[in-house]
Amino acid sequence: MDTDVIIVGARPAGSATAIALTRAGRRVVVLDRARFPSDTISTHLLWPGGVAELRRIGALERVEAVGAPRLPIGMATSDGVTVRGRYSTVDGVDFGLCVRRGGLDAALVATARESGADVREGSKVTGLIVESGRVVGVRYADRDGTSQELRARLVVGADGRRSTVARLLGVQEPYRRKPSGRACFFGYWTESRPDWRDVAVQWRTDAELGTAFPCDGDLVLCLLQPPESRASDFKGDTVAEYLRTIKAMPGLAERLRGGELVGGIRSATGIESYFRRSSGPGWALPGDAGHFKDPVTAQGIRDALRYGRLLGEAAAPVLDTGGLDAALLEWERGRERDCLEVYQWTNGLAAGEPMTPLELELFRKARARDGLTTRLLDVYSRTLRPGALAGPVRGLSLAAGALARGAEGRQDVLRAFSRQARTMVTEALERRAVRRHPLPPTPPVRASC
């Protein structure tokens, strides 16, 4: 073998996998068609749980040097109800970060190189080498365009939603998928409100959703997630519709007042959340290549870092044994068990609908009760399960509170409660099935692909 592990893709999932493997003394080659620093479409917010993953792989100091401010405060506003609070500490981290991908990914690549990984930029994978149904290497074009072959015990596809490795393996079609009800449009603004520089904020107005996250370069990331049905409104004059949507959200407009939009608007429409088969003989898919959630809950980078690191830690001890494929399968099953409930919760928030009376009642209770806002934020940070705040007992309590308040129509409250109850049952059954039944089979890998 030319090396122990080949990783296709050097961004969060690939770098985290490489760092875990090299720490264990394994030889790793990372191939990426980009040359860093290199931007990519991403909302790039990390809650404390994600920042803690940066610390675990030894990249936090280098990432913070990019210049993004620490965000110890989270805030959300809808229908005049505002909740604001601080996060629980995760392994010594009590703040979020919003780092633009050019700087973030370059810092991760530098950390992977420092750990001992051989990172080859400008290298485009064109095929897999398969022997007796097992992936044993890749074909790629190097930065000079010369065709190369490289062999290893394990090939990791950490190359994103449009994964070349997943396509070559024949697993690009998800076995679980959910189209989003929201589109994404984002741009950067010059900072005009330094007093808001430590706060990550979300606004909801009817079905519209907008955020303001301070980031590096003394800028603010403003992400809009209108209902997918409104994506066509942005096609004519994207900037004009982006600005009009901000103006229709008074709190967001006030947050950005005095700042200037820098550069153009980037977009993602037709978004789909999914699980793909992510392990097989001699291969694995961490990051978005194997599992993706709508950006409305900003979980992607955290999961790429975490499950890349866990993949490396699982594979390193068994690369020379017959236990590699079993270890990869257990890693994949563990990720599915860990992520399914958050996937379900994210799909609910990505429905592109106004907040329900029960959600608004939860905001009201959080505003009035110490500690509940932190628990809300902890769901985003992944230190608390979504079900801990949205179980049957709390649903009844929220419905009772909304009915007693009389702020919404009685029928609206009852419909929201009935819908939530049905959803909880359906999702619980799905999670139970995952615990009881194995993953669907993977297709056999072709001898030449």
pLDDT tens figures, 10-46: 999 999 999 999 999 999 999 999 999 988 888 899 9
Q: How confident is the model at residue 400 (pLDDT cuts 50, 70, 90)?
A: confident
- pTM, to two decimals: 0.95
pLDDT at 370 over 80: no
Phi, psi (degrees; rounded to nearest 5) at 444: -65, 145
- C-alpha 254/C-alpha 192 separation (Å) is 10
Say which range, 267-281, 300-314, 429-443, has the weakest mean pLDDT.
Answer: 429-443
- C-alpha 281/C-alpha 360 separation (Å) is 48
The beta strands (E) that lie in 79-123 are given as 81-86, 97-98, 118-121
Strand order in the sheet with 134-141: 124-131, 134-141, 147-151
Better-predicted residue by pLDDT, 265 or 410? 265
| Cβ proximity of 243 and 224 under 8 Å | no
Rounded to an integer, what is the distance from CA 256 to the centroid of its chain? 25
Tens digit of each residue's pLDDT (9 = 90 or more) over 325-366: 999 999 999 999 999 999 999 999 999 999 998 898 899 888
Q: How confident is the model at residue 447 (pLDDT cuts 50, 70, 90)?
A: low
Question: What pLDDT is stored for residue 369 in this prediction?
Answer: 81
List the domains of the chain with CATH numbers.
5-71+90-178+272-334 (3.50.50.60), 182-268 (3.30.9.100), 347-436 (no CATH)
- C-alpha 154/C-alpha 131 separation (Å) is 13
